[in-house]
A and B are shown apart, each in its own frame.
Chain A
Amino acid sequence: MNREIAVVAFAQTDHRRTSEELSEVEMLMPVLHEVLAQTGLKTADIDFTCSGSSDYLAGRAFSFTLALDGVGAWPPISESHVEMDGAWALYEAWTKLLTGDADTALVYSYGKSSPGPLRDVLTRQLDPYYVAPLWPDSVALAALQAQALIDAGDTDEPALAAVAARSRTDATANSHAQLAGSVPQGEYVVRPLRTGDCPPIGDGAAAVILAAGERARGLCDRPAWIRGIDHRIEAHSLGVRDLTDSPSTRLAAERAGAFERPVDTAELHAPFTSQEIVLRKALKLDDGVRVNPSGGALGANPVMAAGLIRIGEAAARVHRGESDRALAHATSGPCLQQNLVAVLEGDPR
């Protein structure tokens, strides 16, 4: 595992509440063109392609097969797909580059939440025999976690409101964000979570290009080297988990080398304000770390792309020289069940 691999380019859509005038392919195409243009690469120059998405958002089996048409897979390409957030597609691409079978990889993901009621759709992720039939929705489950945190004395409602305010203020500097600026905390959606504690529901796509070694240096002035990346899953049942903690995030961070030296930036995939509290604790982030300068998932949370966007945003800060060592995090499943952590570094300046 001595091969150096870096994120060399990142692009994303403007995230919107609805994109009903666009198919998934049409939503994705400009992002693919943009990320390739950043490096000057063409589809035929890419050694491996991997995507992340979920059929359930489109309401249609095999929806990803059509997205492939947007890539222009001709002549045929070496390609794979995870039915997960694109952050895990990036992980698969990273392992492919590590084997030496590929020097460049295109990773993309997308999600349109607008075709269906997202809170209902996400209930279908749950244990199909005992839990899903009760239709507990994603906000209700996050509220259980938030209340557990408040009961444990880890946070309170004003502190959650402060997370929301900081995120949406930061999102004003992010032209892609869906929800930015002075957003009122609003009424309770599910107590103790108010409107402001919850992410916007939206459509969006993102793409990243990875490259190995000297190839990365040739494609990017300041590559964001992936120093470590790891992901871990926890038990599904909420009844057997301590919702105030995230041992899987801590373990992934440890394996990714996040604790070896301090990071200056952290892009956390925390769709709910309360989840930032959990992640900050698990990742041992102090106030000196710039958390979610992009506005995070509270600014835009296109399901299946939001995790990849965290890696992209962290990498872009390294590219721009705004960060030397950044942490990126992605999550999947109810109440932070599955978590991925990547550590990105720029060459010394």
Chain B
Amino acid sequence: MSKEPVAVVGIGQTKHVAARRDVSIAGLVREAARSALDDAELTWADIDAVVIGKAPDFFEGVMMPELYLADALGAVGKPMLRVHTAGSVGGSTALVAANLVAARVHGTVLTLAFEKQSESNAMWGLSLPIPFQQPLLAGAGGFFAPHVRAYMRRSGAPDTVGSLVAYKDRRNALKNPYAHLHEHDITLEKVQASPMLWDPIRYSETCPSSDGACAMILTDRAGAARAPRPPAWMLGGAMRSEPTLFAGKDAVSPQAGKDCAADVYRQAGIADPRRDIDAAEIYVPFSWYEPMWLENLGFAAEGEGWKLTEAGVTELDGDLPVNMSGGVLSTNPIGASGMIRFAEAALQVRGQAGEHQVERARRVLGHAYGGGSQFFSMWLVGAEPPTS
């Protein structure tokens, strides 16, 4: 049985900021959804189902917020699913929505992910230890810093690479009107002089806490034919998970990430990702994860990812631009961050990315991960529909 091709015909996001005190949670998500509908030139009545995702409910203090948000998202009388796969959730949510279209259960689906971190404190939301279990060590940075150290030791990367990523992503963010951090006076020296938070991760190499939402309209072939602007076509999508902690885990380059990418490439007919993929939006919450994921995703051989970064390959005008939007380093409404990666990939192949548009971006990867580098979700979108 062949699957229905899935097209992205509408994309919307809020202006991401530290605190959206002017809107409720419902107001925030509606703003993104409304914007995606406008992009697709559709109305609420055109939507058959809603798939919503966000990271832990403790961040806003609302248990299963999809119940409260049903009205705001025009879901009354419709199916509404709520996905939660930790930090990868924004990507997973889009994939669950895509499956509804691919399976021909629904024709047009609204998918949305959000986080309103200002409603609470993410550090405490992640710090609820129970007995006999390792808590996240002083937030996510504390958990990931040792793995960055392990990468540096394994690859021999010079300790300047992390600051290059941060400097690049923050400059890219200046070209993205929706990005949270707009540091107009950013310099490489300023990044390198910023305080050390979790050695080797400096303050300017970490993601901010943002309020924001991202929405997409996914539809079938018939829906794509009616779309007013060029659609982005899903060429492959996959999720992979592995356990949080176990002796065989490679925390630097998890097997689940490699398997997930391999599945996506197989679906999309990608033989050599470095050659066949034009750009990538990769989930990089701490700067060193750019070179680490370049290797995990097959863009570079093991131990070589930092060389691409150092050589400027991942710059906006480089040969393989990475995080053209400014990435998670510039905008991090956690639950939405994965979907923003997926949506930005789609914006690129639609040619709608404005000032941070990459020329001739025909095939672009969107990537998300979560938990202790244990959940992965990715999709590859293209300007042309899938051939098989």
- Point out residues on A near B: beta carbons under 8 Å: 1-3, 49, 54-56, 58-62, 64-66, 68-69, 72-84, 88, 91-92, 95-96, 98-101, 121-122, 124-129, 132, 230-237, 247-248, 251, 332-334, 337-338
Contacts and interface: CB of A to CB of B under 8 A. Distances in A.
A76 B70 contact: no
A234 B76 CA distance: 5
B243 A1 contact: no
B25 interface: yes
Closest 4 A/B residue pairs (Cβ): A61-B56, A98-B103, A76-B256, A83-B84
Nearest to B65: A128
B128 A333 contact: no
Contacts of A232: 77-79
A95 B103 CA distance: 6
Contacts of A95: 96, 99-100, 103, 105
Contact of B81 (A88, A101, A235): A88
Interface stretch (B194-202, B233-241, B313-321): B233-241
Interface in B84-120: 84-86, 92, 95-96, 99-100, 102-105
B62 A132 contact: yes
A58 B246 CA distance: 22
A206 to B, nearest CB: 19
B75 interface: yes
30 contacts: A1-B103, A3-B1, A61-B58, A61-B128, A65-B372, A69-B246, A74-B243, A76-B255, A77-B242, A82-B83, A83-B84, A84-B66, A91-B81, A96-B99, A96-B103, A98-B103, A98-B104, A99-B3, A99-B99, A99-B103, A124-B63, A125-B62, A125-B63, A129-B24, A231-B79, A233-B75, A233-B76, A233-B79, A234-B70, A333-B67
A128 B102 contact: no
A211 B375 CA distance: 24
Contacts, number: 190
A76 B242 contact: yes
Given A2-B1, A233-B76, A125 B68 contact: yes
A77 B241 contact: yes
B175 interface: no
Contact of B70 (A61, A121, A236): A236
A306 B56 CA distance: 22
A121 B63 contact: yes
A73 B85 CA distance: 15
Given A74-B246, A76-B255, A233 B70 contact: yes
A68 B84 CA distance: 13
A74 B242 contact: yes
Given A62-B371, A80-B96, A73 B241 contact: yes
B273 interface: no
B214 to A, nearest CB: 18
